[in-house]
Amino acid sequence: MTGCKPFITPQTMSNGIVYCAEGSPNSFNPQLDTSGTTIDASSHQIYDRLLDFDQESGAVIPALATSWSISKDGLVYTFQLRKNVKFHTIDTFSPSRIFNADDVLFSFNRWRLDTHPYHYVSGGNYTYTDSLGLAQLIKDIKRVNGYRVEITLNHRESSFLANLASDFAVILSAEYAENLINRQQMQLLDHRPVGTGPYKLVGFKQDRFIRYSRHDNYWRDTQLMEKLIFDITPSSSLRLAKLLTGECDVIALPAHSELDVIRQQSKLVLDERPGLNIGFWAFNTSKPPFDNPEVRRALAMAVDRNALIEAIYFDGAIPAKNIVPPMSWAYQSDINSISYNPVAAKKILKQEGFPEGFEMSIWAMPVERPYNPNAIRMAELIQAYLQQVNIKTQIVSYEWDAFRNYLTQGLHDSVLIGWSADNGDPDNFYRPLLSCSSIKSGTNRAMWCSEEYDEYINQALQFEDIQDRQYFYNKANEHIAQHIPLLPIAHASRYQAYRANIIDLSINPFGGIRFAGVSKNNE
């Protein structure tokens, strides 16, 4: 058929999208891993969740669950499941039945129960659900009938639905899992996945590519490309070069310094969206003199945050006032934030007994993250500011894994780090960053434990109504502003660069990239 016209662009080219990703996923199951690379490669391509977030409003909307009801005491959630949802057919498995309650039970019990046959397959670490304590929160999951599931909680928690809509609460196929047990290849569940999502995995070569093809019986009525390819390209400048030549249609994480190059190209589009993240400077409040809130205040006043933002983020971030960004409903714009005042800072230090200043360390994370693209440079700038108030500083950095390990042990004086939220609920900022229990799980970098604060954020979860919850989060915001366990610096924007002929691609504010519904025009 193509014989008569040999030198034309083949049909396949226009019927697929190439996404240049920054790395290889560890597995194809987001239950196991919080790394953004794994989520991008699996969560929204291969799987579906019971619920989804509305891309604009952030509200929880139906997905595999068509409707749900919550009992009056807020403890029992009943989900009505969607019918006629088909799983992927792959070369080693063809599903004999459609999605039903068994799949929900299987997927949730895997991380919830350590007696589950698959619990310890692939390591048995369920980082996300463990850090939120979801296994402890859920008392029981019951199959009411084939299309109705009832989840009972141990206590009320209003962020529960949001957690079920997050990237990590994917639904696997129970039938496939059973099939793998019979074949004694249980680990394939996470590496040759079967889901209900818009694309199915057809090939993966470490550090080279991931190939997906269209799931022909996808339940949503969205436009899908025949092929979806992840071209794994770790270097950000090479990704940009490939975008320019058209070898990539979409690229991951364009570097802040290259944004202007993209803006100047008429064939490329750069989308920008405020990110659900926070970059901050946390003080180790378990160590003197940082256990003194006044000293922390003085340190915070000694640093000009606006200058930091200009130097590090270019114009890709907004100054932070709270730990939640403005797009969250828990944001409080009228909070009295700290302004740059080295003279006052010196005065406070003198009052607190440090007229000669002191020495401290600033830990700067070694990797580039959306919330802080260059922590080491930022540490150098802070070093210069602190010099003016007679504080000598030493900048410390380790390899990323060791760095986080030492932070959890509390070896630092202060650290430049941040947080990206996984769902739209503000609890996702307040709890992991500053609650007492998160010191142990290793996300509370300030090592700060305040019973009053914990009380506020726990109470906020007792209510469903946003206005009621807002009241408690405002209290929490004020408490943070008063005690300054950490200095919020910036909420960085997220960027996505793609070629102009890609249609309907948007930045998913609540996590991984989504290719369902994205299509391509021929140039």
Partner 1 sequence: MNSVVLRYTNLMVITLIVLSLFSFALAYLFPGHPIENLTGLSTEQLASGYQHAFNYASGESLLVQYWHYMAALFNGNWGFSFHTGLPLYEEIKHVLPASIELSAYALIISVLVGIPLGFLAALNHHKTTDYVLLSVSVLGYSIPVFWLALLAIMGFSLQLGWFPLSGRISLFYEVPVETGYIVLDILLSDIPNKRSALLDVVQHSILPTLSIAVVTTTLIIRITRRSVIETLDTEFVQAAYARGLSTYQVLVRHGIRNALIPIFPLLAMQFTTLLTNAMIVETIFSWPGLGNWLIQAIYHQDYPAIRAGMLTVSALVVVFTMSIELTIRLMDPRRRRVRRGTI
Residues that bind partner 1 (CB under 8 A): 2-3, 6-13, 16, 18, 203, 206-209, 211, 227, 229, 231, 233, 238, 241-242, 244-247
Question: Considering beta carbons, is residue 37 or 285 the nearer one to partner 1?
Answer: 37
Distance CA 307, CA 340 (A): 10
Q: How far is the CB of 241 from partner 1 (least distance, A)?
A: 6
Q: How far is the CB of 245 from partner 1 (least distance, A)?
A: 5
Helix-strand-coil percent breakdown of the chain, rounded to 5?
35, 25, 45
Q: How far is the CB of 242 from partner 1 (least distance, A)?
A: 6
Bin 274: left if φ > 0, else alpha if -120 < ψ < 50, else beta: beta
Write out the H or E segment, with its range, that includes residue 351.
helix 342-351
> Could you give the maximum distance between any two Cα atoms of the chain, in Å?
87
Q: How far is the CB of 25 from partner 1 (least distance, A)?
A: 13
Question: Considering beta carbons, is residue 8 or 73 the nearer one to partner 1?
Answer: 8
Question: Considering beta carbons, is residue 102 or 247 the nearer one to partner 1?
Answer: 247
Q: How far is the CB of 27 from partner 1 (least distance, A)?
A: 13
Distance CA 346, CA 357 (A): 9
Which residue type is seen at 439? I
Question: Considering beta carbons, is residue 232 or 476 the nearer one to partner 1?
Answer: 232
Q: How far is the CB of 206 from partner 1 (least distance, A)?
A: 5
Task: Tell me which residue has tokens 């802080």.
Answer: 372
Question: Considering beta carbons, is residue 242 or 412 the nearer one to partner 1?
Answer: 242
Q: How far is the CB of 207 from partner 1 (least distance, A)?
A: 7
- Taking each helix axis as running N to C, give the angle between helix 305-313 and helix 375-387, from 0 to 180 degrees, rounded to the nearest 10: 150
Question: Considering beta carbons, is residue 148 or 227 the nearer one to partner 1?
Answer: 227
Q: How far is the CB of 229 from partner 1 (least distance, A)?
A: 5
Decide if 463 contacts 482 (C-beta within 8 A).
no
Q: How far is the CB of 235 from partner 1 (least distance, A)?
A: 9
Decide if 499 contacts 267 (C-beta within 8 A).
yes
Q: How far is the CB of 86 from partner 1 (least distance, A)?
A: 24
How many CA atoms does the CB half-sphere of 505 hold within 13 Å?
Answer: 28
Distance CA 240, CA 20 (A): 9
DSSP tag of 318 = E
Question: Considering beta carbons, is residue 249 or 422 the nearer one to partner 1?
Answer: 249
Question: Considering beta carbons, is residue 188 or 407 the nearer one to partner 1?
Answer: 188
Residues 6+ apart with CB under 8 A from 145: 101
Q: How far is the CB of 231 from partner 1 (least distance, A)?
A: 6
Closest to 21 in 3D by CA, of 238, 277, 169? 238
Question: Considering beta carbons, is residue 89 or 383 the nearer one to partner 1?
Answer: 89
Distance CA 127, CA 167 (A): 12
Which residue type is seen at 521? N
Give the sign of the dihedral formed by CA 162, CA 167, CA 173, CA 174: negative
Question: Considering beta carbons, is residue 246 or 288 the nearer one to partner 1?
Answer: 246
Question: Considering beta carbons, is residue 210 or 308 the nearer one to partner 1?
Answer: 210
Bin 397: left if φ > 0, else alpha if -120 < ψ < 50, else beta: beta
DSSP assignment of 84-138 equals SPPPPPBTTB--SS---HHHHHHHHHHHH-TTSTTTTGGGS--HHHHHHTHHHHE
Q: How far is the CB of 5 from partner 1 (least distance, A)?
A: 9
Give the CA-trace dihedral at 450, 134, 192, 46, to 10 degrees: -90
Q: How far is the CB of 516 from partner 1 (least distance, A)?
A: 20
Distance CA 26, CA 115 (A): 24
Distance CA 216, CA 202 (A): 14
Question: Considering beta carbons, is residue 10 or 56 the nearer one to partner 1?
Answer: 10
Question: Considering beta carbons, is residue 241 or 327 the nearer one to partner 1?
Answer: 241
Give the sign of the dihedral formed by CA 31, CA 34, CA 35, CA 41: positive
Decide if 346 contacts 389 (C-beta within 8 A).
yes
